[in-house]
Structure 1
Amino acid sequence: MSEILSNFSGAFALMAGRRAGLDRLDLSADGFYRSFFAILVAAPALVLSWIEYEIDRPVDPVREIGGAQAFGAHLLADLLSWLLPVFCLILVARQIGWGRKVSPLVVATNWGAALISWAFAPYLALVLAFGRGPNLALLGAVLSLASLVLTARLCHTILGDWATAILVTVAMLGLGIVSYGVVMDLTGVPLL
């Protein structure tokens, strides 16, 4: 638990623009691979988002296609949207001269994504409890925008360049949307 909290505090410090946050992250080769444990750390918050999405839909696809298939599609889409940007970054890193920046960027974005997933959990609990009214819809939009800004800031703190940080953030978002589209095409389960 202390390792998770240390990684969360490191990611949060990077989001706040403090490069010292890197000192709280394990940037070794083992730390790189262990950072994918952040997916499991984020899983409860992600499951909450799947439940909220399925409850909020006007048509009940869980009843139409089955809960296992619907939640399996959500799981596959989230895994693909988490891992595809990392895979693409690793593929292009050497060509663009980022050999030494990849590991810190991957470790930090993995833990940053888990932290952001948990930041959404109270909002999702409110939506499940009270429904999505105009105030909660506005709050959801603000949280979504804030998550993009914080991710870009985390990237900027590591990369030192706003244009590149924004490009990386937009690429991560775009690859995430593509991932959801691919899973929707493969499974026939609506996810967006």
Structure 2
Amino acid sequence: GVVGLQRSAVPADAYRSLFFFNFVDATSSVMVRATVLLSVGGFLGDVFGPTMQGCEDRDLWIRIARSYRLVGIPEPLVRYRLPGGREQLSRNVQQMERSEMKMLDLALADAPPEIAAMEPAIRSQTLKRIAMEYFGAADYEGFRRLVDKLAPLGGIDAGLRARVWLSYAPATVRLARAIRGISRPGNFR
């Protein structure tokens, strides 16, 4: 399937924003001077390794944004296709979780005090996003485990609470997804 068009603007405070989300749409659309890559240590392949994939690029953007200004071009630069669509990106949610947490640990350990002070909010947003990946993959046990981690951080909203209840009734979730699928425009004949 084709992945939709993304046009994320570079936030005013790119360094801070990257702790909360990766706004860089496609790594293949990025241009970085070799001297900049060398000065920040390049990709940390030896740190993440083959079993810790999925956020090496965000780690690199954080390290670059700490010392350099990021700019963006507000038009699509690349077109790409994934064989299985969006779900290919997060097929292994457990691997995604391990990688994201390791990346955050490294980034926060090197962060200035004003960023380190936001650690609970940063972790809360990251855990919530990954919890939603677990929910989307119908891994309700993984979803509830992350919701339990979110509770002390105050990151549970009404939508997440409702999904916790639904996670105990997978048949209801499947029914809701089926109804949503047939109610999309173009699905009526």
Measured against the shorter chain, the TM-score band is under 0.3
Question: When the two structures are superposed, what TM-score results if normalisation uses the length of structure 2?
Answer: 0.27
Larger Cα-atom Rg: 2
Of Structure 1 and Structure 2, which has the larger fraction of its residues in helix?
Answer: 1
Query: Relative contact order (alpha carbons < 8 A, sep ≥ 6): 1 or 2 greater?
Result: 1
Question: When the two structures are superposed, what TM-score results if normalisation uses the length of structure 1?
Answer: 0.27
